[in-house]
Structure formats: C-alpha cells, structure tokens
Amino acid sequence: MFSAATAAGPPRRSLPKVPSQVFDLELHDHDWGTAATSVEELDTALVLAELKRFFAPCSAMVTRDVHRCCSPHAWDAQNDGAVSVATLADGLSALKYGVAVRRAVGGGDGAECLHNLRHTHLLVTAPGAPNEPFVVDPTFVEQFRIAKPTSRYTQVLECVPCVLVLPESQLVQLVHFMCIELANAFKASDAVIPPWRKLSSMLSKWLPRRAGDSALPRANPGAHHAEGGHAAHAHAHVCITAAHLRRL
C-alpha cells in the first residue's frame, strides 16, 4: 500500500540546477569525497534557494492537514520535536488519512548495528489518493544535528521544515543531499565521519532492512458529526495510538 515502487505519486520534484550536479554522482559511501567537494564549491545562497524551492508544498492539502494536527509553536524552528509521532498519527487518522507507523528496528550483530539505525516516522495517504504516500516526520531535522556545525550547515538545517512532509518518492534524494552537507561540515572541522553518520546508515532510518509497520484505522466518516461524539472518539483514538506506540 505504501510502496514507492507502486505508487504513482504526485509529479516528481527535484533539487534542480545546483544539487543536480551532486545527485548525478551515484552517491554511494565511496563517492563521498568527490560529492562533498562538488557541493562545497557551490554558492551557499544558491543552494539554500534551491532547497527552499524543493520544500515548497507539492500538496497544499496534506501540508495544511499536518499543520492542523500540530500546535502552532511546533512549526517554529526553535521547537524541533514539539509534536510527537503519536499526536500526528492520531490527528491525521481522525482526518481520514491512511496512516502507517513505520519503525526501523535497527540493530544487528557486531558493527552491523552501526549501519542499521532505529527511527520512527509516518507514511500517510490522503483521502481519495491511496497511491500517493507521504513521509511525515516530526524529528527529521534532529537526525542531522551535529556538535560543530558550520554556518552553511546551520543554514541548511534551518531550511528544513521542523515537521517534514514530503512525497515518499523524494525522500532518498533529500537524505543524499543532507548527508553530503553533513560530510562537508565534518570535513570543515577536520573530523572523521562516524559510521552511523554515513549515507547508507542514515538511509536505514527511513528505508530499513527490518521494519515494524502498523496501520491505524481511518476515522469513521460520521463520527465527527455526532453531537458530543467527537471528544469521546478523539480520546479513545489517542489511547489506542499511545498504547500502540508503547508496544513498538
């Protein structure tokens, strides 16, 4: 249901002009040196402009509904993580979205655990569009925070929405870009990139080898119109979701 391979999805957006010089490099871990150098030489203002264009909402309805599920301060750049996965799952399910909680299990034997990382986010489909999955992640930015960011890297992070709403088909492109910028920030401080910060490891958070997915039921279309029924339904749904997430 949520497979990017089978979803038709909205028209594919890209990071045109500037980042295209990066994404044509077939970004595997062994290409990082070349890719990082290419991106580092690009004008910061131009990269930021292209990144902002990339994040321009491709679905006004999905973005609007995610906003409705968040308190206003959750969209402030100073309040990363102010809204939880459970809150978003409850709210979007109540709005009759298809909602799947995806948990990257992570772990493994020995050093394998450094390349299979844990993370939880949502895959959602809007009412009437079951083949257009979106990633909704309230902690995406947090996955890329580092101790010693450069000025450019700080500006890149500030361009990323605090609650990521993005077509699933474009997630890999974004993670590629963020990992290159991350690599440049490590390079600027003469630091070695730890294995869990490399591209394949970071991708494992959203494209895990092992995932515990669980779909939430859509809200009853008539529930919100019954007098006095909305509050009871919302309370019960929150309890269901909270209990579900504790089991993950």
DSSP 22-67: HHTT---GGGHHHHHHHHHTS-HHHHHHHHHHHTS-S-HHHHHHHH
Percent of the chain with pLDDT over 90: 40
Q: For residue range 79-92, list pLDDT tens digits in order.
A: 555 689 999 999 99
- The strands making up 164-167's β-sheet, listed across from edge to edge, are 164-167, 134-137, 119-125, 98-104, 211-216
Q: For residue range 174-223, list pLDDT tens digits in order.
A: 999 999 999 999 999 999 999 888 898 999 999 887 767 777 766 655 44
Taking the C-alpha atoms of residue 182 and residue 188, their distance in angstroms, rounded to an integer, is 10
Q: For residue range 54-66, list pLDDT tens digits in order.
A: 988 778 899 999 9
Helix pair angle (44-54, 151-159), 10° resolution: 20
**Pure H helices in the chain:** 20-23, 32-40, 44-54, 60-68, 85-94, 151-159, 171-188, 199-203, 229-247
Q: Whose CA is closest to 209, among 70, 86, 134, 107?
A: 107
Average pLDDT, the chain: 73
